[in-house]
Amino acid sequence: MAEVDQKALLQFLLRMGDNTLVLGHRVSEWCGHSPILEEDIALANTALDLIGQTQLWLGYAAEVQGEGKSADDLAFLRDAWDFRNVLLTELPNGDFGQTMMRQFLFDAFQSVILARLLKSSDTTVSEIAAKAIKEVAYHVERSADTVVGLGDGTEESHSRMQAALDYLYPYVGEMFLSDDVDAAMAAAGVCPDPTTLREEYDALVSKVMANATLAIPANAYTHKGGRTGYMHTEHLGHLLTSMQWLQRAYPGCEW
């Protein structure tokens, strides 16, 4: 892997790991608060899956970084401007419909990119993808079914799901932006350029939204800044305060 730009590889791994870390924490906030017990268990399991994927991505990132750090160090000891997650993942949960719409929009992306990463030139990346894609296959099926059930449900549930889609869709485009990091990774065969994933993603999302009787917003505006660390929403800082306070208050504590 000497031909691979290690700095670009690190950024790619942080992007993958931070996405699952931040969304995993967000989803975990539903534990004990879901509408019904079955959903409480399902969301908790989804959060656990995402955190498990984070351990793999950030563990490899720490190895590539070569500073003797661990996945835990990268999760708990970085500040907001060092995170590389897309803005979609850090948005507040909102109501149950908004949470499931966000989950589906992210799951759909995960299902597309992980399928491509199975053929990565980086053996570790392909192995992580092979483990994660099994979980994501279930995630995307479940979130899609829930979006359809609520979207094509009662007048109230339909209205809430349309409002959720209208709010969240402008954040979708960031997942498909491309920069020098993506170009370097694509050239090395580590991962595809994100722009090449959009057509497959749109086909999947359009099919589900049609079944849910929901209209995809026509506005092409895209919120961005998260995956480069240039700009996050105010919500990430609050999330990290909750997620990191114990490690920050008691550095190096073990139990």
CATH number at residue 191: 1.20.1260.10
**CB count, 10 Å around CB of 211?**
15
Pull the structure tokens for residue 24. 């995993």
Instruction: Using the structure block, give the residue that is written with the tokens 């899956």.
Output: 49
Contact between residue 195 and residue 178 where contact means Cβ atoms under 8 Å apart: yes
pLDDT for 2 equals 45
Pull the structure tokens for residue 223. 């919120």
Q: Is 254 domain-assigned? A: no
Q: Is 129 domain-assigned? A: yes
Q: Is 255 domain-assigned? A: no
pLDDT tens digits, residue range 48-83?
999 999 999 999 999 999 999 999 999 999 999 999
pLDDT tens digits, residue range 133-157?
999 999 999 999 999 999 999 999 9
pLDDT for 252 equals 81
Q: Is 74 domain-assigned? A: yes
Q: Is 12 domain-assigned? A: yes
Spatial CB neighbours of 99, under 8 Å, sequence gap ≥ 6: 26, 27, 30, 43, 93
Higher per-residue pLDDT: 255 or 246: 246
Q: Is 175 domain-assigned? A: yes
pLDDT tens digits, residue range 12-55?
999 999 999 999 999 999 988 888 878 889 899 999 999 999 99
Cα(13)–Cα(55) distance, integer angstroms? 11
Exposed / middle / buried, residue 198 (Cβ in 10 Å: 0-12, 13-18, 19+): middle
Average model confidence (pLDDT) across the chain:
95
pLDDT for 15 equals 98
pLDDT for 36 equals 80
Split into its structural domains, the chain has a count of 1
Contact between residue 85 and residue 54 where contact means Cβ atoms under 8 Å apart: no
Mean pLDDT value of segment 192-203: 98
pLDDT for 1 equals 44
Q: Reply yes or no on whether the pLDDT at 208 is more than 90.
A: yes
Structural domain of residue 22, as residue ranges?
Answer: 6-249
Q: Exposure pattern of 14-43 as b/e (b: 16+ CB <10 Å)? A: bbbbbbbbbbbbbbbebeeebeeeebeebb
- Percent with pLDDT over 90 in the chain: 88
Q: Is 1 domain-assigned? A: no
Cα(173)–Cα(227) distance, integer angstroms? 12
